[in-house]
Structure 1
Amino acid sequence: MSQLHLLVLSGANLNLLGTREPEIYGSVTLADIHNSLELEAQKLQVNVSCLQSNLEGELLEAIHSARNSYQGIIINAGAYTHTSVAIRDALSAVEIPTVEVHLSNIYQREEFRHHSYIAPIAIGQISGFGANSYILGLQALVSYLKK
């Protein structure tokens, strides 16, 4: 099998990690998470490309473009998890195995965060482990793809 190429997408407000509500999201920045992902990807012998956008349309374009370039997607859509049918439909349409991740445990938070449009079409969901949720998502996705 040739080396896997995985896309890591982070949505709305995740560019503010490290300063945004550290009591919920911790003090790790998104750049720190991306660096950790790249180190873990090297260990797993896969490639990762990371993208963050606050714009739903940019996330949609990245998902559409992933079809011919990536074998898996890890997504923390942020608030779009709970609102975007468009992101759900794009992930479903490209038929790329997807893992949904969240830093906080969305089921311990406000009721509106308990619903995910992405979860029903994802191969799995990881939440509540802080920045490590991304690493766990990467490990799970690679394991899934190598089976």
Structure 2
Amino acid sequence: MRNVFGLVVAAGFGLMAVVSSGVQAQEVGPHKMPVAEWGDEEYHVEVIPDAKAGTVTLLVYGDHDDLHKAKRKAIDAKSISVAFKSPALTVKAAPSPDKGDPAGKSSRFVGKAEGLDKLGKLEGTVSGKVGSKVYSGDFKQK
């Protein structure tokens, strides 16, 4: 009887492992804010709203390693948009290059918007065009 019980418990744990392996952890950036992935780990974009200032800052990183090393990557983009789900709010962010960004590229984008103080948990989509390639990725705050 004990062996059968052990198999049922083991099978139960195996089932739990399969179920939990389907849940993907959400990325968090160096500023502890949610991150959207663009392409197949090509870029990561951290979403940082500041309700007091009425701005959203989007920081661009390269691959997964760059993200976790806080190594930003300047891109050739005219703007990046972030669409928040709740409440529905879209912000267009313009390039705001940092000191180390090469001419014509930016690793930081900033947009202004009213209503940022009404945002709950951050969830939405970040979209942009880098060169001639269009990217879009979802983010969700833990």
Into which bin does the TM-score normalised by the smaller protein fall?
A: under 0.3
Higher Cα Rg: structure 1 or 2? Answer: 2
More strand, by proportion: 2
TM-score, normalised by the number of residues in structure 1:
0.24
More helix, by proportion: 1
Ranked by relative contact order (alpha carbons within 8 Å, sequence separation 6 or more), the top structure is 1
